[in-house]
């Protein structure tokens, strides 16, 4: 049986690592699923790692010059056993513009959608309702 690939949006990582008061536990439960899944069941973009770093640095009053913060956040995501991190490609950058128009998305969401679709994902773990306008099935809460 072929498992459905699932794309993981940045907010899962931010809620988990930032210990969000109301969504942190839900995000943590997703992280446990990702950790226990076979490699490749879950995918995300290298953009997610960067955006998570920027957001966590902002939440903590730190900066991307803090190597300890960068290493901790990066390792937390990169070392999730069931997760594959896909690089952004020129094709993704170009396709994002078209996806913006087709689904009325901002560029950031369109980049994530492009990576998800290229990876063969059929669903996305996210609380961003903008993905409800796309062909991905959104799951989170």
Return the CATH number at 34. 3.40.50.1010
Token couple for 15 = 């809620």
- Specify if 27 maps to a domain: yes
- Specify if 109 maps to a domain: yes
49 CB contacts (<8 Å, ≥6 apart)? 73, 74, 77, 78, 85
- Specify if 141 maps to a domain: no
Residue-range definition of the domain harbouring residue 70: 5-136
Instruction: Determine the Cα angle at 121 with ends 11 and 55, to 5°.
Output: 15
- Specify if 61 maps to a domain: yes
- Specify if 58 maps to a domain: yes
pTM for this prediction: 0.95
For the segment 32-85, what is each residue's pLDDT rounded down to a tens digit? 999 999 999 999 999 999 999 999 999 999 999 999 999 999 999 999 999 999
Please state the domain count of the chain. 1
65 CB contacts (<8 Å, ≥6 apart)? none
> What confidence tier does 140 reach under pLDDT thresholds 50, 70, 90?
confident
């Amino acid at each position: 049986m072929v498992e459905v690939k699932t794309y993981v949006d940045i907010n899962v990582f931010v809620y988990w690592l930032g210990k969000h008061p109301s969504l942190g536990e839900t995000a943590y439960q997703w992280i446990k699923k990702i950790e226990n899944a076979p490699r490749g069941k879950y995918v995300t973009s290298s953009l997610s790692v960067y955006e998570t770093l920027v957001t966590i640095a902002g939440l903590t009053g730190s900066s991307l010059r803090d190597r300890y913060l960068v290493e901790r956040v990066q390792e937390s995501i990169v070392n999730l056993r069931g997760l594959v991190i896909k690089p952004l490609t020129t094709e993704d950058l170009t396709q994002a513009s078209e996806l913006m128009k087709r689904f009325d998305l901002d560029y950031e969401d369109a980049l994530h959608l492009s990576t998800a679709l290229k990876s063969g994902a059929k669903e996305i773990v996210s609380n961003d309702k903008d993905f409800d306008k796309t062909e991905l099935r959104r799951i989170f809460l």
